[in-house]
A and B are shown apart, each in its own frame.
Chain A
Amino acid sequence: MDLSTRDLGDYGERLACRYLLAQGLTIIDRNWRCARGEIDVVAVDGLELVVCEVKTRTSEAFGAPFEAVTWRKQRRLRRLAGLWRDEHDELARGLALRIDVISILRPRTGRASLEHLRGVC
């Protein structure tokens, strides 16, 4: 079964959300968009506001999923996180900001694997 890039991304985000819920986080926003770009998942982990980027790949032929998060993308994530907080002042009050990246590798056969990096930038 071949998935389009879009479907693959949605699949990865659903998987990531399930994982985060299982970790005891509260999901408060998904696929938030603004003029500057998109945030995949926003969650609350205790006293931390977690802005999460999800990268999904079917193989490592073009590098590991994490490698796609370049410093340019990291800078964009930081800026987006700030924009989200400005817009949701009432939800974000008193929480520290943390940026996470979740990488999901879903080979054509076999089980998908998930890796979670906390506080990357």
Chain B
Amino acid sequence: MGTGLGRTRSVGLRGVHGFVVDVEAHVTPGLPGFAISGLGDSAVKQSSDRIKAAAALIDDMPVSQRRVTVNLSPAGERKIGTGFDLAIFVAVAAAMRLVPPAVVRDLVHIGEVGLDGTVRPVPGVLPLVRAAAMTGVRHVVVPVANAGEARLVSDVRVHPVADVTELVRRYDALGRGRAVEEVPVPLVVPPAPEPVRDLSEVVGQADAKLALEIAAAGGHHLLLAGPPGAGKTMLAERLPGLLPALDEAESMEVTAIHSVLGALGAGEDVRLITRPPFVAPHHGASQAAVIGGGSGHIRPGAITQAHRGVLFLDETPEFDKGVLQSLRTPLERGSVSIARAQETVTFPSRFQLVLAANPCPCGNGWGKGLDCTCTPLMRRSYFGKLSGPLLDRVDLQVHVQPPGLSMAGAPAGESTTSVAARVAGARDAQGERWREVLERRRGVNADVPGSVLRGRPWRLPSSATTTLDRALESGSLSLRGYDRTLRCAWTIADVMGLQRPGREEVDLALSLRHRAGVAA
């Protein structure tokens, strides 16, 4: 009576990827007890209490009077969170022959079980279901609230479940060969879409807008320096609108990350994220919040949330120095590895960086700087945090002036749509040109090494680089700065639809760097 072995499957989360877990339950009529082995965290351990309460609602399921041993295999891999509840429950029910063991054996169950038997949503369902589908699983059972998200994965049938009593009843009917009706998923009202921030709302700022367009076209990191009220934030917020939409693989990646962070909606109406995300952490953010980490469960940080999108650091010099320095490796590699004694987790983090900074701590040190109350030392140390290795990776460094009175009545500038069209054209040209050099699709100028730009066949004629060469010789420009100017010049040429940059484009690129007025 009620003795035996039950098996089913679930999926665990490691970083932003899932791995399939076999859940086995052994039930015997020994002294009552509920043991879960397989490196679960405390949420997994407490699963036994939730399951005992939920099982009490079902006839002939005296879990609290049986000796239950559950194993989560591979037992050496850490299991985190409440998502295993449903699978453990079903495995126990199968062991007690309340559901047909052969039916549930190859199904994947994901979800948290409440004391009242309801099946509650868990974060990260999209990557979990995707991992299950990749290992050949055809059917997954998920909480009703996660059904929309799970259905974004093709090649897998999603069965929403609201309640464990109803799930047991359905399995029982299935075992007896009766027809089983699907649980309807309640339709939720989708949240109002974010208002599109249009570039035409920005008054004046022709140089900064140009820099923004170049940054969008070539994937260059950007620094906006300028006094308060100049519109740095306003400009940065309009960058994602200029970027091309994510392709299918990219939007799956980005949506999976947001799913792990619990940043997707619930119910039927969950869509793939197709626009580049825009993430702006506050300058008080800790290293764990920006890079990823945290105690126990390693969570992705802001740089991973900004994957394939824009990471905007407003008031950059106010950030903790350690946080800024830790951005360097992810910028270089496009991913971040967080190592712990027990495990190492790698998160994707290929983002475009936009920095904004006041010229000095008081914010008035622009132009002639007559209102500035800062000492020279304060000004130096303020930007000292920024300069060096981090700024080395920022191709475009522009100064944003506050708009004058004459700008207030100026006609609206170009709209986001028309600039985005030019950006898309420039991106196509770059992808075509660098396909062999970068060995991937959709390569951008920002990724091209300087040695390639200075070597054949991409070397520019000396007539085009006269001013640039002179700046290098006179020492006002480093070789690294030289390379960055070349990259921007190529992007300018791409935006203008030219085959190669000429002298005018190179000089424009150089002037966009010189406007920064900051130590680089």
Instruction: Mark A residues whose CB is within 8 Å of B.
Output: 63-64, 66-67, 69, 71, 74, 101, 117, 120-121
Q: CB-CB < 8 A to B65: which residues of A? A: 63-64, 66-67
Q: Is the CB of A67 within 8 A of B32?
A: yes
Q: CB-CB < 8 A to B30: which residues of A? A: 117, 120
Q: CB-CB < 8 A to A120: which residues of B? A: 30-31
Q: How far is the CA of A77 from the CA of B260 in the complex (A)?
A: 47
What would 23 A/B residue contacts be, using CB atoms closer than 8 Å?
Answer: A63-B64, A63-B65, A64-B32, A64-B62, A64-B64, A64-B65, A66-B31, A66-B32, A66-B65, A67-B32, A67-B64, A67-B65, A69-B31, A69-B32, A71-B33, A74-B31, A101-B31, A117-B29, A117-B30, A117-B31, A120-B30, A120-B31, A121-B31
Q: Kindly state the interface size class of chain B when it binds its partner.
A: under 10
Residue of A nearest to B28 (CB): A117
Q: How far is the CA of A71 from the CA of B31 in the complex (A)?
A: 9
Residue of B nearest to A60 (CB): B65
Question: Most A CB atoms within 10 A — which of B29, B30, B31, B62?
Answer: B31
Q: CB-CB < 8 A to B32: which residues of A? A: 64, 66-67, 69
Q: CB-CB < 8 A to A69: which residues of B? A: 31-32
By Cβ-Cβ distance, the 4 closest A-B pairs, closest first, are: A64-B65, A120-B31, A67-B32, A69-B31
Q: CB-CB < 8 A to B29: which residues of A? A: 117
B56 → chain A closest CB, angstroms: 11
Q: How far is the CA of A67 from the CA of B32 in the complex (A)?
A: 6
Q: CB-CB < 8 A to B31: which residues of A? A: 66, 69, 74, 101, 117, 120-121
Residue of A nearest to B64 (CB): A67
Q: How far is the CA of A101 from the CA of B30 in the complex (A)?
A: 9
A76 → chain B closest CB, angstroms: 13
Q: How far is the CA of A59 from the CA of B65 in the complex (A)?
A: 14
Q: How far is the CA of A66 from the CA of B66 in the complex (A)?
A: 9
Q: CB-CB < 8 A to B64: which residues of A? A: 63-64, 67
Q: How far is the CA of A45 from the CA of B30 in the complex (A)?
A: 19
Q: How far is the CA of A69 from the CA of B65 in the complex (A)?
A: 11
Complex interface bits, B20-36 against A, C-beta within 8 A gives 1, otherwise 0: 00000000011111000
Question: Most B CB atoms within 10 A — which of A66, A67, A69?
Answer: A66
Complex interface bits, B480-491 against A, C-beta within 8 A gives 1, otherwise 0: 000000000000
